[in-house]
Amino acid sequence: MAILAGESTAQYLIGLGSYDMTGPAADINMMGYANFEQTTAGIHFRLRARAFIVADGERGKRVAFVNLDACMASQLVTIKVLERLKSRYGDLYNEENLAISGTHTHAGPGGYLQYVLYSVTSLGFVQQSFDAIVDAIEQSVVQAHDNLKPGSIFINKGDVPDAGINRSPSAYLLNPPDERSRYPTNVDTTMTLLKFVDARTSTPIGSFNWFATHGTSMSRTNSLISGDNKGLASRLFEDHFSLNRTMTPSSSPTLAKGFGATGGEICGDGTSRGFKVRRQKFVGAFCQSNVGDVSPNVLGAFCADTGRPCDFNRSSCGGNDQLCVGRGPGYPDEVKSTRIIGERQFRVAVDLFESANEELTGKVDFRHTYVNFTSLHVDLGDGRTGRTCPAALGAGFAAGTTDGPGAFGFQQGDTEINPFWEMVRNMLKEPSKEQIECQKPKPVLLSAGEMFEPYAWAPAILPIQMLRVGKLIVLSVPGEFTTMAGRRLREAVKDALVSNGDGEFDDSTEVVIAGLSNAYSHTPPKARPLSPPDLSSHLISLVPRPFPDATPTYKTFGDTKQDVVIPPKGHFSKGDRATATFYSANPRNDLLTEGTFASVEMLEEGKGEVWVPVCDDDDISLVFGWTKKDGGGFAAIEWEIPGGVVAGVYRLRHFGAYFELLRGTQYFTGASSSFRVQ
């Protein structure tokens, strides 16, 4: 790649956008843990695509960066997004200046990547997951483009304590001692933050930051869609700067007894959008970095049977890796752990945002290339050379990690594969002799780079990208770099920029890694005229559409199955949980994008029966769960009453859509009986 260089400029055009990308909240395997049994069944809080665009004046270059509440970016998603943007804007946004990066949450719907390896547990391609992500990226960029205005960008850095530990400490110790001695910890603790300010009003309009910790606070048995700790940090950050929930407390305790459950009611397809509490004013994104060996389960890994620490070198318990599981700071409550790790990132981000005073100035620029990673010759220095190989998964992949242990007896550190698994492997594809030699000392469990039936199992051609805004360089990489690999990459790029000799860059140059960007590969350049394949015409989907929905006789969708149970004291207190269950239909019938499946409403006194929404399913305190049952299903809505809630009369509301063979999709709503909070 050529070195980024050019003349500086005094001011930028800045635009930000955000759009709902939650996807199907029922029946779809989650991407991340590769657990067949982990399928979506509700929403912890919604997923979003958040975008910023920075342009170097009206006619100068521009860069666009999109952060996804998703496990990773997808090559096919990138291809289709670029096609849509080209139809809107011509060549203004293209593969060179648009970066799409995932937060690495393991609690989002899967089935949106085009290679077989990443769609086995999702039973192939899932159109609904794919469309939700592509739509959200497109709309977030459209919003950012439409909002472009003169602005300033400030940069700040700081440490995030206790938000990540190295989950492979024995592997980290294999790095050279002199290299390890240069760093105080075995994980990167630095958060790098950008603050975007409207130049005309001096009003902050958004912020993006990069910090490395895995999106695995929610466990491999969780079934609620969630942005995990980074998505939660974004919610807290955006609410901190933009959410206004001023309500008048209710004075009459007898009012709570006056309003029973509404029963199911027919409504329009946009009704739930009217109950959406958040109207996006401020965009705050918590982006991923070199996260490969960094876990949010900061208490460490322990054996489930004995409670003792796992074997240090093998991450197992008496030879069983299934028993070795990392513990988050809220253990055994994974939702609490998610909140704690999210809050730790949020608090640092607020401090960095409020104290940011170093303004970015200088050129906006970008570089991009595609590289075929299957057979690169690499100069290792000291006269040594090496080469890369086609993608292959080893025993360590099957062993999993302490965030999500694998199965079938594999352990970290295995150097051989037993004859039984060799036989199973060979039934799929026996690795070539060249592959076996090339991958040594790693044993080849699955030679994905040599597998092409029914279509390619893993990518070979991958994008490498650099974005520049002043002295900030964002490295968009298509994978999970480990702590030390990330340090080496950042250092190598910075050295190359500074040594270029044109004076553009110096020791103050900031280099950040945006991991899981534009595509995804398990593999860690010189430019070639390459492009990745579009496999959309070959993709296979084994996920059936939802069956027509039904309710028991004399029941309609939106009726309460179990109404709110009032505590013996006659009211709820802050910290209590109010729950109601409704007769419901499959959430896949309509994703209610930019709407909500659930809300909490407060009675506004003095105006008749006027109910005002105060929480929706994007709130951390409100959980929408869904269970399939007898041709239909049940929606369980649970509100953990926050400490800052206003005393008054409340009720829970559910929204959804059901499918009929003759009439197609119909929309419904229903509300619980009212209850008092004081």
364 forms beta bridges with 469
* Cα Rg, the chain, nearest whole Å: 26
52 forms beta bridges with 16, 65
Rounded-to-integer distance, Cα 21 and Cα 274, Å? 18
Burial (CB count <10 Å: 0-12, 13-18, 19+), residue 193: buried
Residues marked active site are found at 295
Q: Is 522 annotated as a binding residue?
A: no
Angle between helix 75-89 and 127-146 (nearest 10): 40
Phi, psi (deg, nearest 5) at residue 482: -75, 175
Phi, psi (deg, nearest 5) at residue 155: -120, 145
Q: Is 654 annotated as a binding residue?
A: no
Rounded-to-integer distance, Cα 531 and Cα 83, Å? 14
Helix (H) or strand (E) holding 401: strand 400-401
Token pair 């730790």 is found at 344
Q: Which of 110, 115, 125 is nearest to 225 (CA)?
A: 110
Q: Is 214 annotated as a binding residue?
A: yes
Burial (CB count <10 Å: 0-12, 13-18, 19+), residue 10: exposed
Q: Parallel, antiparallel, or unpaired for β 62-68 and 48-55?
A: antiparallel
**Assigned token pair, 173:** 């110790």
Rounded-to-integer distance, Cα 298 and Cα 340, Å? 11
366 forms beta bridges with 467
Any long-range contacts for 268-273 (C-beta under 8 Å, 24+ apart)?
Answer: 268/667, 269/590, 269/657, 269/665, 269/667, 270/595, 271/595, 271/655, 271/667, 271/669, 272/592, 272/595, 272/596, 272/597, 272/655, 272/669, 273/592, 273/594, 273/595, 273/596
Rounded to whole angstroms, the maximal C-alpha distance in the chain is 85
Q: Which of 115, 133, 87, 103 is nearest to 32 (CA)?
A: 103
Q: Quick check: helix, strand or coil at residue 17? A: strand
Tell me which DSSP letter residue 517 carries.
Answer: B
Write out the binding residues for Zn(2+).
Answer: 104, 214, 480
